[in-house]
Structure 1
């Protein structure tokens, strides 16, 4: 097996999963991460991993048993309600079946910790903030540079420097949706009624251009996301919003004004929030985004197909990308590892990824419009949204039957007292 020299930019889930799979195959890879040191404490809420993508990648990486130590199978509960807290769709934890299509939850920081800790010491180069990528593959960091790689892989997220080299004309677009990330610590005691609504899973409350998401976390806290729709891309700057968007008291006051006609059972998620408050802006790459293949470079995860979170597929397809790309690189190495062989394998990976990702991107964009930009949501959109999800999981030949079945179910339910 020829020795390959691989650079991975970004120590997020996709980058670490790829590095882990290459390490198991004895292929040298170096992960460059801008963060100065491992810190997994405040990096997002809860994730549900899916059988054929995220969970499959963890099994391939030999990390499934470690994942099980932290996974919450009771966290598969999901409720979609309107602003009056009327349920429109409820899925119990048991409703996901026994292994066929499971979606166990895990805290995002814990998943990243599992993946990073699975790598040999020194494989991740912390404190390497990438400034640019040279035409010859030279990586220019803030304080140093590195070169001589057979393949540079961008797993560097929304504002990927590697993607900038592959497609400099393409930039993520502002979706007009901002989120305030809040937290309710020790929620069973501080917000017991809200905890009952969440039922150790996920609660999604929708209205036109409004949404509150509440997720159970492994430390018994609740993670809260409250949406703010704005034409202004700098929506959270003091010059635009008129207050400090990191001041939780000011943010709570503004959110309670925005959500003043919502059920108190739901706005309790805002009232009971404590501690840090983080504004987040949602961006996306164009649906069906592709780039012209270029020898020595590729991108995966958000760098390749940045999406909003409305389909819950982002981390799953990122881990799937890593699994597929690892197989391509390993295959090239076993066949001799020459530059031409590696190039063909990477190009074949990209050609497979493009249609696979377009399907996910399209679903995500459609669900974003269903949830955030359709009057009467979720009442007017729930059947359509559930049908979209169901069709995504089934072969196209069954799509007419799936659509008819879902719409019939919701129509009949409306007739019941």
Structure 2
């Protein structure tokens, strides 16, 4: 059965392509036009919908996918929707459920009305025809529909195929608007969490995602940083061993370079947390990056300020601890003594017992990695520190010595 007339009326219920990008103006006549004609076109569609048999409806993926998209477009948050939009969405659900005994949302969850995967694929096909690199900013409601579908992906009875799901996410991530980046990254993470390593066996589509995320490593927005790091880790975890090792090395180097110049404390903390995980995965392969010690010293150096150390000291110490666990053989006092000096400076001012304990442990570990002669020299210098007129610091030095003797 042909449904051309049904689809014509249904398509008139959608917001048409905007003349200007959504972010370029707040005056979009297309929104007004859609809302002006929405009720009339919807009523005409419903009259035709009642005449369709359930068997015919179940066979038309084009019509079913358009119904799914329209319901989501009418209910998403956006300046194009109003109270009438919400009412039309309720009516659409009511009519659909009266015919099929299931709400619209269940179309993608169960195969009772149709083949869920076929309708889902048709939804994505229709959305991606509009959400192209040239035009996606002219379809703001369709962007919201895409995001809604992807963020609910885990609830749907569909296969997770990277090449079908990612295109719009990648466009959003690569956009200069922070809101779009965040939407794209949230979608990207939702997809990655559902993928298995074998889902990339059909090609190297992971390279497309990887390069997109890699470009965002230097993005300054803190929310983008957190999401991008989460996406990158989720992607790396899925990769085959050889590309995973190569990409871990690239990302580790890029993150160290970002830390060398990063000034925002919150973002520093995120980057150190991210680096800690990279080291856990890359292990002793991190030993060939000498800039790590320089970065640790620089950041410990600024932790003598109470405000600074309350934000970044814990991430810095955890990162250093993890690095020592896997890369201790390259530690040399003659080259890396500045780390010990920096730790002692921070220890002098730190009032947090948990962080003090963490620093005791790191300092003792580093001393134990020294030669016997070097250890004696350090202990003598610690003894001389008892002459400092600060009882609190003297107690901390005693704690270090007690750790060494335990």
TM-score class normalised by the smaller sequence: under 0.3
Query: Please, what TM-score do these two structures have when normalized by structure 2?
Result: 0.23
Identify the structure with bigger relative contact order (alpha carbons < 8 Å, sequence gap 6+). Answer: 1
More helix by share: 2
